[in-house]
Amino acid sequence: MNIINPDSLGFRKMEKERVINELEKAIKKAEVEGKREDVEKLKKELKDLTHESFWDKFIKNSIRY
């Protein structure tokens, strides 16, 4: 294990989870404040982050087999 270069996949996954949590909190806050445009924008950003594209799924499945 290399201490200087941490596991980049694990780090990216943790960072993505952190961003998702922040977006979910921001959505709840915007809903409470009644900022409808912000809610829609944040939900779209969250959807883009959480849904894998067709090509990502295709590539992962082809690499597996």
- 13-31 confidence digits (pLDDT tens): 888 889 999 999 999 999 9
| CA nearest to 24, candidates 46, 50, 48, 49 | 46
Could you report the per-residue pLDDT of 30-54, keeping only the tens digit for each? 999 999 999 999 999 998 888 766 6
3-state SS assignment for residue 62: helix
Confidence of residue 63 (pLDDT cuts 50, 70, 90): low
Count of beta carbons in the 10 Å neighbourhood of residue 42: 21
Residue 5 above 60 pLDDT? no
Residue 49 near residue 19 (C-beta atoms within 8 A): yes
